[in-house]
């Protein structure tokens, strides 16, 4: 990740629903990410009752819970938080790659954006800087989630206008598979 902060987009979070999956492994770092993300969502107007946080043992368990939350249809966006610190083996790389791939797959299949806030760092110093220091990745993950939740709501409204609110998921699939002139292409 770059050390250049994400440019904030002003999103009114009122009425948006978020699910957060947070690892208990490397708890102090993940707790800092979670607190920062929650502060950012609160500042954007997201009500506490519109956020559900579920703790899991580690990052490797997060895709299961994220998949279940995405399948519920209750959330506009999910944020997954975890910190993986490189050790003596390549286990950190296996966890980081497999969770990232799982989040992408779940997001595509469920049509719920997932913000991958699982940090893979080389040492404690990098973890501290990103979770408790000036980089503040928790706020960045929440800012991304706000933007993606807002985009999801806008795109669903657009699809509902095209297909009517009584659509089924198969209609949307044919819309995106359209080989002709698609209103989604510029």
The residues annotated with a catalytic role in the active site are 91
- Measured between alpha carbons, how far is 158 from 101 in angstroms, rounded to an integer? 28
DSSP assigned state of 49: G
Q: Which of 39, 29, 12 is nearest to 147 (CA)?
A: 12
The CA–CA distances, whole Å, from 34 to 38, 39, 139, 168 equal 6, 9, 9, 35
Q: Which of 68, 107, 184 is nearest to 172 (CA)?
A: 184
């Amino acid at each position: 990740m770059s050390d250049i902060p994400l440019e904030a987009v002003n999103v009114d979070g009122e009425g948006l629903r978020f699910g957060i999956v947070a690892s208990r492994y490397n708890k102090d770092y993940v707790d800092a990410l979670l607190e920062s993300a929650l502060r950012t969502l609160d500042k954007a107007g997201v009500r506490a009752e519109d956020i559900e946080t579920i703790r899991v043992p580690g990052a490797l368990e997060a895709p299961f819970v994220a998949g279940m939350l995405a399948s519920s249809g209750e959330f506009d966006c999910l944020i997954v938080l975890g910190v993986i610190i490189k050790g003596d083996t390549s286990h950190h790389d296996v966890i980081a790659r497999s969770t990232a791939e799982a989040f992408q797959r779940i997001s595509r299949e469920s049509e719920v954006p997932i913000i991958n806030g699982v940090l893979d760092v080389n040492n404690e110093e990098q973890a501290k800087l990103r979770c408790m220091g000036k980089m503040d990745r928790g706020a960045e993950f929440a800012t991304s989630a706000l933007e993606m939740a807002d985009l999801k709501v806008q795109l669903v409204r657009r699809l509902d206008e095209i297909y009517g609110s009584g659509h089924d998921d198969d209609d949307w699939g044919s819309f995106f598979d359209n080989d002709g002139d698609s209103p989604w292409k510029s």
